[in-house]
Structure 1
Amino acid sequence: MLLESQLNVRSTEYHENRTVMQKRVDELEERLAWVRAGGGERGIKKFQERGKLLPRERLELLLDPGTPFLEIGPLAAYDMYNNESPCASQIMGVGIVSGVECMLFVNDATVKGGAVYPMTLQKTLRGQTIAAENRLPCISLVESAGANLLYQAEVFNTGGRIFGNQSRLSAQGIPQIALVFGSSTAGGAYIPGMSDYVVMVREKATVYLGGPPLVKMATGEVTDDETLGGAEMHARISGVSDYTAENDTDALRIGRFIMQHLPQPKPAIVMARRQTPAAPQYDPDELLGVIPAERRIPFDVREIITRIVDESRFLEFKRDYGATLVCGHAHINGYPVGILGNNGVLFSESANKAAQFIQLCNQSRTPLIYLQNITGFMVGTKYEREGIIKHGSKMINAVATSTVPQFTVIVGGSYGAGNYAMCGRAYDPRFLWAWP
C-alpha cells in the first residue's frame, strides 16, 4: 500500500531542519574532500613525476565504466596520528570489475608512502569481513612502505590476522588478486605472497621482506631494488609474480582480464526474487528536512521510509500493536526488504512485535534494514513487572540469531540496549551507516 507523507515541505520547520542538515552535510563533504586529496600537492607531484597513476585514478580505471563505487571508511584515522594519514592511507570499498562485485583495497602511497597504521589494519579487517559475508573477490592495488614503525606494537598481531584471512578466503573459493604498482615491503610483501593471482609492473613494482639498505646492514650483501625484488626477478626466478605489466594501465587491464575469466563465487544466501526497481513517490532529497534540527524532538520514521522504498509502497506489520516500533515489508531498488524503524522508546509490545517480524523475514529469506533512532527500553516499576527485560531479550535474541543480511542506518540517537536491539555494531550488521 502507498505510504502517504504528512510532511509539509513548505513549512518554516521543514526549511529550518533542512538548513541545519545541509550544513552538516557540507561539513561532511569538506572532510571527504580533504580525504580524497590524499597526500596533498607534494605527494601527488611525486607520483606524476614518476609517470604513475594516482591511487584513485587506478581505481577508476579498474572499475567498470559508469558503475557505482561504495567507499567504506573514508574517514578512518580522521583526527588521529596528527592527521598525517588521510583515509588511513588506504581507499577501500565495493565496486564492479568485469561485471563482478569485488572488495577493493587501494594503498594510497601519496600518504607517507602508503605506510600502514593501526587504523589501516582495522579498516582492512572490516573489508575482509564484508568480503567473507558477501563472498566478494578481493583485489588489492599494492604500493606500501609497510608498517609505520612508530606503531609497530599495535600492528603486529592485527597484520598477521589479515594474512590469515587471505588464506581462509582463498580456501573458501573467494579469489585474492594483487596488482603491485610500487614498493611492497616487509609485511606488505605478504599481500601479493598470499594472493592467488599477482601482477607486477615492470621496473616499478618491488616485493621484498627487507630492502637493499636492510640487506646490507644484516648480511653485508650489496644489491639493488630490481635484483632483490623487481618484477623481472619475481616473474623469472622466484615465481611470486604471475603476470608482468608494462605500466599501471596495463596492470589494470590484466586485472580486469583475470576477473573476466574467473568463476563467480556462489552467493552466501539465496534471497527472494528481485522485481523491477522503481523510484519512490516522494523525493529522497526531502530527507534533508525530515529530521528535526533539535535531536530531542521526535519525528515519524515513516517519513524516511516513504522516501527510500520503491513507489513509496510499504506493507506495515501490526501497525496498531507496539506502535513505537514500525515494522513492514517493502522493496528497495527492486529487492524485497523488511524494515524496522524506531518511533519512540521500546516497550514490551514493541519488542515482541520485532522478534516475530525478524523471525518471519528469516523464514522468507528477506533481508532486514534497521532505522535507528532509539533511547532504549522503557524503565519503571510497571514495565519491570510486565517483563520488559525478558521481552527485550527476545528481540535481541532474534537479532543475534538472524541469518539473513542485516543493514543498519543510524538516523538519530542510538543508546544503550536499544542500540543492541536495533542491530548495532556489536551484532555485526553487513553494513552500518550514520546519516549524516
Structure 2
Amino acid sequence: MTSDLINGSPSSGGIRNDEASTLIESVRDSMPSDGSFDRKRLKDLALKLSIALETPGETAQRIAYLPAQTAVVRIANRLNIFHILATSNGPKSGTELAKMVGAEHALLIRLLRYLVSVATIGEVGVDSYVATNVTRSLSVPKIAAGVDHVCDSIAPCILALPNFLRKTKYQNPTDLAHCPFQDAFSTTDTMFEWYPKNPENLESFNMWMTGQREGRANWLDFFPLEEQLVRGFKDGKSDVMLVDVGGGVGHEVQAIKEKYPAIPGRFVLQDVPSTIKQARLVPGMEAMEHDFLTPQPVKGSRVYYLRNILHDWPDDKSELILSQIAAAMTPGYSMILINELMIPDQGANAIATQLDICMMSVFAATERTDTQYAKLMDKAGLKVERTWSDTSDGAESIMKVVLKKESGPV
C-alpha cells in the first residue's frame, strides 16, 4: 500500500522515495489505536512527509513564494477579513465581503482565492467563504500583529540579507548600525532608533510580544519560581524581588503577579522613556526609565529578569548589558534569569533558527547555543548555574545566572 502511494513513472508525475515510505510508517506508528498522539511529533512528521513528496518544481514554489503568503495575509488583516469570517454565522460571498471592507470585488476575489489555496480561509461553494481554525487564530489581534510586524518591519530586512552578505563578502554581521536593516529602510538609524519614529510598526511589535507565546508553554509553567526566588528572599519593605530589565510595558510582571498574587517584595519595570509611558502598572509594580547599556541603578535585587533582550544584541553589547547588572548584584543572593531561545548543537527547531535569521538581518545579533551563552557569561564575570527548558517544544528556556565568584548565601 505504501509504495502505491508514492511510486510511479516519471511521465505520470509519481515519486519514488524511500524517505517518504519511512515517514508514512512513522506517521502510522505515531497514531495508536486508542486515539492518543503526540501533537508536536505528528506535526513534524506530517511536514517532513509533505516535503519528501514534493517534486523539484513544487519545492521551488514552496520556498520562493513564501513572501506572497505574508503579504496577502497582511492585506487581509488590514481589510479585517479574518475577523468578519470568524464572527459570521454562515458563509460570506465575495460580493458581501467587498461591500463590507470597501475593496474592489475583482481584487478581493483574487485575494480570497489565494487565501483558500494556502488553507487560511475555507471555501464551501463557488464564491462562498467561511472561517477555519487558521482564520479564527488570525482574527485574534495579538496573533495578527505577528504577521503585521514581520511584513512591515522584518521581511524587508530578510529580503535585503542576500545582497548585504554578498556586499560584505559573507562576513557574520556584528554591527547594529551596519546590517541589512539600514539597507532595507534606507536609513542610518538602528531599529531601536527607528521604532519611535514609526509608531504603527512599534505598536505591532509590542502587541506581537504578547501573542507569540500562544499555544506554547509559558516559562512560569515549567520554572519553579517560588523555590528559586521566594525562598531566601530578604522580604523587607524596601527589598526588591525582581527587576524586569527592558521589560516593555510590563506583561511579564503582570503574569507573575497573576500566577503568584501573594509574592512578596517590590517589582521594578525598566525600559526606555517612550516605552515606560505606555506601561501597564499593577499593584506592587513600579516603572523606572532606564537604558540597560548604562549602570544598573537598582542594587541588590533578588532577581534581574531579561526576556528576549540579549538576542537583540551582538556579543560586545550583550557583554556590556550583563556587566552592568553584575556590578549591581549581591554575591550569594542576587541572580539573573535569562528567558531566551537556546539553539541545540543538533536538531534545532524552526522557531529558533528562523528567529536567528531575523536577528541577523535586523540587529546584526544572534540566537545562541548553550556553549555560546556560557562563553558570554564568563566574559561578564558570570556563570550559568542551571537551565530549565520547555520540554514540549524546546522553544523557550530559563537560565539562572549568578556571579562567577560567589561569597556564599547572605
TM-score tier after normalising by the smaller chain length: under 0.3
For normalisation by structure 1, the TM-score amounts to: 0.23
For normalisation by structure 2, the TM-score amounts to: 0.24
Structure ranking higher in strand proportion = 1
